Each structure stands twice: as C-alpha cells, then as structure tokens.
C-alpha cells in the first residue's frame, strides 16, 4: 500500500487566529495527505507529544503572536531530544523576514507567510519530506 | 524479538506509533512484529463508540478517559475520521476535543483515516488495538467515523459498543430502526440538556422493549452532557455492568471469537488484494483456525500463512 504523508498542523502559544492554519490543513488534505489538527493554545511539549503518538512526517506551526523565536525553537529542541530530527518542521503566520535565517538554523526548514500559494507548501513538503 | 516489539511491550509511545504506521501502510515487516504482539494481547477491554457526526463522540471519549484515569487505568484511544475518496487525503480533527489528555503518559491517542474502508473503521484498527493492548493499556476506546445507517463494523472489534444519539435529529429513530439498534450494548443520549430529550428517551425505551423481548438483558439508556461532565460516572458503571454480563453469560468469548475472525479475514483480505479480488474461496477454512486463535495456540498471522499457502503456489 502507498505510504501517506502525515502532517501535524498546530497552533503554539496564545493567539487565537486559526484561519490560516485551517486553510493550509484543508489544502494539504486536498493534496492527499493525512492532516492532524490539534486546535489552539498548544505548548511545545503538547505538540511534540502529539507528533510522537501520531508518527507524523511533517509539523506545520502557525503563530501570529510574535513569540515564534521562542516557541518554534522549543519545538525543534524537544524533537531533537526525542530523536525525531527527521520530522520536517515548517512555520507560518506573521514571521518577519529577518527572523527566517535564525529559525532555519534551529531547524524550521520553511517559512510561509500570508499570501503564499498553498501549492508552494504542498510542493515544498513533497520535495523535502523524509518518509 | 525485535527491538521495536520489546520497546512496545515496555510501553514506549514512539515505538507504538511506529508499528501502528506500519499497520496503516501494510508494510512488509508488519507480520513478524505482529506475531509477537498477538502473544501479549487480549487483555485490554475494548470500547467502541459510534454515532452520527456531531453527536459528541470525541468529547464523550475525552470525559470517559478522564474518569478511567481517576481509577488508575491506562487508556488507548483510536479516533477514526473519513479519508477523501477523491484525493486520498484526510483531515483528522478528533484530538481537538481531547487536548488535556496529551501530556498524560497513561493515555495514547492515535488518529486514523478510513483509507477506503466503508464500515466506519480503518483497516489498521485491529492491529492498532492489539498494539495498544500489548503496550499495557487497560482500556482501548475506538471512535468510529460519524456514521449513517450501515456502518456497523465497530461491533467486530469492541467488547462493549455504545451508540451515541442526540435529541432533535428528526431522523434518529429511523436510523435506529434501520439497524444500529442491533449493535448497541449501551445507548447514550448525549447533549441531554437539549429540548426533546425525554421524547427521544421514550421512543428508545419503546424500541428497546420490543427488541429485548425474550432476552436476558435490557439495553440501558444513559443520559449524558459530555461537555459538562454529567452522566459520565453512570456510563462507566453501565460499561462495567455490561462487561460483567458478557463474562457471566460467556458472550465475552463468543464476541472475542468474532473479533479474531474479523481480524483474520482482514489480514487475508489485505494480502489477497495483491493477487485476486475475490474473497469467497477461503470462507470454509477459517473456523478451525479461529478456534486455535481463541485458545492462544496460534496467532492470526500464522493462520493466514496456512491458508495462503494453499491458494498461492
């Protein structure tokens, strides 16, 4: 049977703006992926624990509160601790361009801000995911 | 024994998750792992939760799991949502109702897409239940997709099946008449603070009265408001009573035998799909093997080997 790409879409931190996360979740679903959506207000620990249980290949973090430097870093650090560095981590929401290099350095491989065509995210995942 | 299986037997969540993925993908290495897993399974009590979409199944399971955790029981949850017939993708959103359980290491939650199965379950659900069982879970709860009238496969895997209904759905009684009545061990009337709840309960009662004539057990109705954690203890008590009933009347073994039959058929079906699409030829041969599986003399994978060796030269 064909292996499916499993993606966790998560909202870390305290902002409640989940429209973007839902649009991306729907687009990935339509691209044939299995998308697990966690809902709002997740801690880094909750996101990584969910990723473990759901055995996902990709984590998409959506954040609009400005706390991305801390929270994204917490997620990638915990993933490393759990031996899950092979999970592809992506970020979306309001992420200033100048923060992207630092985020890439800690393991957030792709940043997709407002206006990104959904196909770009799908293509990026298909090209970079480790199955 | 492989490293993966030995870690599963110690309850390691990462390894449990990996083998469930192998089951979902029907990977080559799955059978060897599962042969060991089956030797350690059969201990967990399996609860099936089914009902129409939006009836509150996920929220009910969340509250139920919390109640079991108070009793110190370890819980596995398998939550199934539909796979798109067009793209093969799925949006699995049952976890949203269960977030508080994520950091409890006595709880393991896994979301699954149906991936083409039509009975309300996913093909890998049998393996997933066994894996969670072998990893030390005391109770495994299986949530079906939101069902209509014909998705009754959950009875093949659950010891206790509960059908969750809500007041105000004009056609809910029709749904019951069409056959869900037959699979329910317990009826749950959720969202019991809504109007028309007494009417639904009364209609259910009269249906139960008719269908339980001459039977030694009357199907109970439990009213719940899952969101407010009301009626959950009653529900736990009814599950316990149903379990006692099943054990006392030997129905427990009969149902488990049916479950192993379902598991065996599913394994063979998956294997035969690669060669032929006609499942009818092995129906007579399975009965003896299922007996052996029930007695733990054999696991379903070895039984599948035996049958396939006669078909595929």
User: Which site among A22, A55, A83 would you substitute to test the B interface, given the most B Cβ atoms closer than 10 Å to its Cβ?
Assistant: A55
Q: Is residue A128 part of a domain?
A: no
Chain B closest-CA separation from residue A3 CA (Å):
6
Q: Domain of A59: which CATH number?
A: 3.40.50.280
pLDDT digits (tens, 9 = 90+) for B64-122: 999 999 999 999 999 999 999 889 999 999 898 898 899 999 999 999 999 988 888 89
* Residue B61 CA to its chain's centroid (Å): 12
pTM of the full structure: 0.89
Q: Is residue A131 part of a domain?
A: no
Which pair of tokens denotes residue B192?
């019991």
Range of the domain at A37: 6-123
Q: Is residue A35 part of a domain?
A: yes
Q: How far is CA A71 from CA A42, A85, A104, B40, B270, in A?
A: 10, 16, 14, 40, 42
Say if the Cβ atoms of B87 and A37 lie within 8 Å.
Answer: no
The number of distinct structural domains making up chain A is 1
CA distance B135 to B43: 10
pLDDT digits (tens, 9 = 90+) for A72-124: 999 999 999 999 999 999 999 999 989 999 999 999 999 999 999 999 999 99
Please tell me which of the candidates B18, B89, B108 has its beta carbon nearest to residue A34: B89
Question: Is the distance from CB of A90 to CB of A110 less than 8 angstroms?
Answer: yes
Tell me which chain B residue has its CA closest to the CA of residue A32.
B89
Whether the pLDDT of residue A34 is over 80: the answer is: yes
Tell me which chain A residue has its CA closest to the CA of residue B21.
A55
pLDDT of residue B278: 39
CATH (residue range B42-249): 3.40.50.300
Q: Is residue A21 part of a domain?
A: yes
Chain B closest-CA separation from residue A108 CA (Å):
22
Q: How far is CA A5 from CA A88, A127, B220, in A?
A: 11, 12, 42
Say if the Cβ atoms of B93 and A37 lie within 8 Å.
Answer: yes
Say if the Cβ atoms of B92 and A38 lie within 8 Å.
Answer: no
Please tell me which of the candidates A3, A31, A46 has its beta carbon nearest to residue B102: A46
Mean pLDDT of the residues in chain B: 89
Domains of chain B, by residue range, sit at 42-249, 254-311
Say if the Cβ atoms of A4 and B91 lie within 8 Å.
Answer: no
Whether the pLDDT of residue B176 is over 70: the answer is: no
Whether the pLDDT of residue B41 is over 80: the answer is: yes
Torsion of CA B113, B117, B122, B127, to 10 degrees: -140
């Amino acid at each position: 049977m064909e292996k499916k790409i499993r993606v966790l879409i998560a909202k870390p931190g305290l902002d409640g703006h989940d429209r973007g996360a839902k649009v991306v979740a729907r687009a990935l679903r339509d691209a044939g992926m299995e998308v697990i959506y966690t809902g709002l207000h997740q801690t880094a620990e909750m996101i990584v624990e969910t990723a473990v249980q759901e055995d996902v290949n990709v984590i998409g973090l959506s954040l609009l509160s400005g706390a991305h430097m801390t929270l994204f870093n917490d997620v990638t650090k915990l993933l490393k601790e759990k031996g899950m560095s092979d999970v592809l981590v992506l970020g979306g929401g309001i992420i200033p361009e100048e923060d992207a290099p630092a985020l890439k350095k800690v393991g957030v491989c792709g940043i997709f801000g407002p206006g990104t065509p959904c196909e770009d995210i799908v293509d990026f995942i298909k090209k970079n995911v480790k199955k | 024994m492989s490293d993966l299986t030995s870690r599963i037997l110690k309850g390691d969540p990462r390894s449990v998750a990996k083998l469930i993925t192998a089951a979902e993908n029907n990977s080559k290495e799955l059978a060897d792992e599962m042969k060991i897993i089956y030797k350690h399974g059969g201990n967990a009590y399996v609860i099936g939760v089914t009902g129409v979409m939006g009836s509150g199944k996920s929220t009910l399971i969340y509250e139920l799991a919390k109640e079991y955790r108070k009793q110190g029981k370890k819980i596995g949850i398998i939550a199934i949502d539909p796979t798109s017939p067009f793209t093969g993708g799925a949006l699995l959103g049952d976890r949203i109702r269960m977030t508080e359980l994520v950091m409890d290491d006595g709880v393991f939650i896994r979301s699954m897409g149906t991936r083409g199965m039509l009975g309300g379950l996913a093909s890998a659900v049998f393996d997933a239940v066994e894996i969670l069982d072998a990893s030390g879970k005391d109770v495994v709860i299986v949530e079906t997709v939101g069902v209509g009238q014909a998705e009754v496969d959950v009875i093949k895997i659950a010891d206790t099946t509960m059908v969750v209904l809500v007041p105000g759905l004009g056609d809910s009684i029709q749904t019951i008449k069409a056959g869900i009545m037959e699979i329910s061990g317990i009826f749950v009337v959720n969202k019991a603070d809504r109007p028309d709840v007494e009417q639904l309960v009364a209609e259910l009662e009269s249906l139960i009265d008719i269908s339980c004539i001459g039977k030694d057990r009357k199907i109970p109705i439990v009213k719940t408001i899952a969101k407010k954690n009301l009626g959950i203890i009653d529900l736990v008590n009814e599950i316990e009573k149903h379990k006692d009933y099943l054990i006392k009347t030997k129905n427990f073994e009969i149902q488990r035998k049916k479950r192993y039959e379902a598991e065996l058929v599913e394994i063979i079906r998956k294997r035969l799909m690669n060669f032929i699409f006609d499942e009818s030829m092995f129906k007579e041969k399975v009965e003896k093997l299922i007996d052996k599986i029930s007695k733990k003399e054999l696991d379903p994978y070895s039984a599948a080997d035996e049958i396939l060796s006669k078909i595929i030269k």
